[in-house]
Amino acid sequence: MSETSTASVDREACKGHGRCYMTDPDVFDSDDDGFPIVIGAARTPAELAELDRAVNNCPERAITVVATP
Amino acid sequence: MSELKDAESAEISYDFDIHSPDIADTVYDVYAEMREKCPVAHSPRYGGHWVATKYDTIHEVLRNPGVFSSESVNVPGTIGQDGPMIPIEVDPPDHQIYRKLINPLFSPKRMADLEPRIREITNELIDEMLKHEKVDFIDAFARALPSKVFLALMGWDLGDSEKFNHWADTIVLGEPGADEERATEVRTAAAMEVYAYFAEMIDERADSGDAEDITQILINGRFEDRELTQFEVLNILFLFLIGGLHTVQGQLAHTVIYMAEHPEVRKQLVGDLSLVPTAVEEMLRWESAVCPARVVKEDYVLDGVQLKAGDKILIPFASANHDGDQFPDPDTVDLTRDPNPHIAFGAGNHRCVGSHLARLELRIAFEELHRRIPDYRLDPADPPVRHLSQVKGVLTLPLIIGESV
Ligand code: HEM
Ligand code: SF4
């Protein structure tokens, strides 16, 4: 496993609740329609925990954590 | 393998009436019993319909619009609107086309621009409240805020807010105490007045030339290669009114009732307003007002129960959000709850388009209210009156300002 993680959003499942960019604005931002754009990665344990929180708050279960390419 | 149950199975029959005033105060206990005994239940009310009460089951319904159509989201079928409500009663693929047009109108960034205006409206209402020792929180705040904010968003006259509230109340609640026929009559009459008002706004704005004006964006909106009809624009605006006022009003009122009755939780919030964002999510989970229906389009087995094409099913989000299999300790309010993937705004393709606006209103309201009015309590001699219906709410909420229990 890589030490740097980022997010992959299933675009079919995602319905734009925005819980991800509210929870973890370092990894997610919103586009003009309120859908998420992945803008960053998580490295430190605190950042990784923050990313996990975003994953678990998504009501559509649309986010998976992936190793940064 | 156990036998499939169906509408005739006695063990899953449950006399649930979503409009009954008798269970307005106790509906969470009713849902708890249903989740335990008959998580997909059949109620004899309104010609017979299903009720699903588990989080995962409701999720399955929401994520499967091909089977569970939104062509009619009400039980019984109409609240006085003319034709299907757009986009809430439209199925894919058309639904997506409308949402592409509407989503940007309520985007988080656009809503953020409205923040100072919402804060100003909020504080004007609080200024007024602070002149009294006792207020009806509904009249003084919860009813006024969402309608004024909506009018501000639209760039219409804030002076029309009382008219708006009256229409929305009538359409959503009918006439308190009236029979079903009379209720339908007053709803239809109010809906006609709403359409007339919107038609006037459309005429006024047809060529305002303001590219940011929502009315104008809708009038110039396109459905694939044709323009939206006036009928469609009216229907979309109608739904903003029906969807955007009562819901926020109820959420404000439910939260204030809880905080009035639980001073230790309120003090926690007053002491640390940085808790407001998670507190807003927790209170949305705690009192999720909306309970839409879906129409079953083909025979389908849901959690071991055989549903038939043409059946109707209610999906109370309040019940999903109190499901202990999804939320540990679901009947406790935890202002720091995390994760909290509640579905108070629904899920799937009909996810509330106004959710970013609603969240902003709720955040600002709870920040300003608790900053300026740290203490308030209910009046035991004059308790709040709740109503159930498909958008649960509060009719009156007498509140004593400046005292705590
Ligand atoms: C706390 C406040 C609110 C709550 C709890 C709420 C809840 C909901 C829910 C649960 C749905 C989905 C219904 C379904 O799946 O059948 C929905 C849809 C909708 N809401 Fe809200 N809402 C709120 C505020 C607002 C506001 C402020 C507006 C806009 C002015 C709004 C406009 C809409 C619209 C237009 C839809 C239809 C979306 C679609 O079908 O694609 N709502 N709302
Ligand atoms: S929380 Fe989930 S559904 Fe919502 S915008 Fe983020 S990824 Fe999409």
Map out the domains of chain A as residue ranges: 5-67
Q: Are B327 and B321 in contact (CB under 8 A)?
A: yes
Q: Whose CA is nearest to atom 4 of ligand 2?
A: A17
Q: Ligand nearest B97 Cα, by number?
A: 1
CA of B108 to the centre of ligand 2 (A): 13
Neighbours of A41 (CB within 10 A): 19
Which residue is closest to A33 within chain B, CA to CA? B104
Query: What pLDDT is attached to residue B178?
Result: 75
Please report where in the chains the tokens 């609603």 appear, as a residue: B358
The reply to whether residue A33 touches residue B338, judged by beta carbons under 8 angstroms, is no
The reply to whether residue B109 touches residue A16, judged by beta carbons under 8 angstroms, is no
Percent of chain B surpassing pLDDT 70:
98
Percent of chain A surpassing pLDDT 70:
97
The reply to whether residue B104 touches residue A32, judged by beta carbons under 8 angstroms, is yes
φ, ψ of residue B79 in degrees (nearest 5)? -120, 30
Interface of A with B (CB under 8 A): 15-19, 21-22, 30, 32-34, 53, 56-61
- Say whether pLDDT at B207 is over 80: no
List the alpha helices (DSSP H) in B289-380: 317-320, 355-372
pLDDT tens profile B295-312:
999 999 999 999 999 999
- With CA atoms as reference, report the closest residue to A22 among B369, B290, B284: B284
- Provide, as residue numbers in chain A, all residues whose Cβ is less than 8 Å from the Cβ of B356: 18, 34
B74 confidence band (pLDDT: 50, 70, 90): confident
* Statement: the pTM of the whole predicted model exceeds 0.90: yes
pLDDT tens profile B394-405:
999 999 999 998
Q: Are B363 and B341 in contact (CB under 8 A)?
A: no
The reply to whether residue A32 touches residue B347, judged by beta carbons under 8 angstroms, is no
What residues form DSSP beta bridges with B41?
A: B51
Topology classification of domain B10-401: Cytochrome p450 (1.10.630)
In words, the CATH class of domain A5-67 is: alpha beta
Q: Whose CA is nearest to atom 6 of ligand 2?
A: A20
Closest approach of chain B CAs to the CA of A27, in angstroms?
17
Query: What pLDDT is attached to residue B75?
Result: 87
Average pLDDT in the B120-127 region?
98
Query: What pLDDT is attached to residue A68?
Result: 85
Which residue is closest to A56 within chain B, CA to CA? B339
Helix, strand and coil in chain B, % to nearest 5: 50, 10, 35
What residues form DSSP beta bridges with B51?
A: B41, B314
- Say whether pLDDT at B82 is over 70: no
- Provide, as residue numbers in chain B, all residues whose Cβ is less than 8 Å from the Cβ of A60: 347-348
Query: What pLDDT is attached to residue B49?
Result: 96
B259 confidence band (pLDDT: 50, 70, 90): very high
Query: What pLDDT is attached to residue B79?
Result: 58
The reply to whether residue B351 touches residue A16, judged by beta carbons under 8 angstroms, is yes
Identify the residue with better confidence: B208 or B45: B45
Cα distances (angstroms) measured from residue B348 to each of A17, B55, B139, B143, B313: 10, 13, 34, 29, 16
Task: Evaluate: CB of A36 within 6 angstroms of ligand 2.
Answer: yes
Query: What pLDDT is attached to residue B124?
Result: 98
Q: Which two tokens stand for residue B142?
A: 């919860």
Query: What pLDDT is attached to residue B273?
Result: 98
Query: What pLDDT is attached to residue B241?
Result: 92
B2 confidence band (pLDDT: 50, 70, 90): low
**Which of B352, B357, B362, B394 has most ligand 1 atoms within 8 Å of its beta carbon, as the pocket-test mutant?**
B352
**Which of A8, A12, A20 has most ligand 2 atoms within 8 Å of its beta carbon, as the pocket-test mutant?**
A20
Closest approach of chain A CAs to the CA of B42, in angstroms?
27
Average pLDDT in the A32-58 region?
95
Query: What pLDDT is attached to residue A55?
Result: 97
Q: Which helix (H) or strand (E) holds B106?
A: none
pLDDT tens profile B15-65:
999 988 889 889 999 999 999 999 999 999 999 999 999 999 999 999 999
Query: What pLDDT is attached to residue B80?
Result: 57
What mean pLDDT value characterizes chain B? 93
Average pLDDT in the B264-279 region?
98
Which residue ranges make up each domain of chain B?
10-401
Neighbours of B120 (CB within 10 A): 13
Q: Whose CA is nearest to atom 1 of ligand 1?
A: B248
Q: Which two tokens stand for residue B211?
A: 């590219």
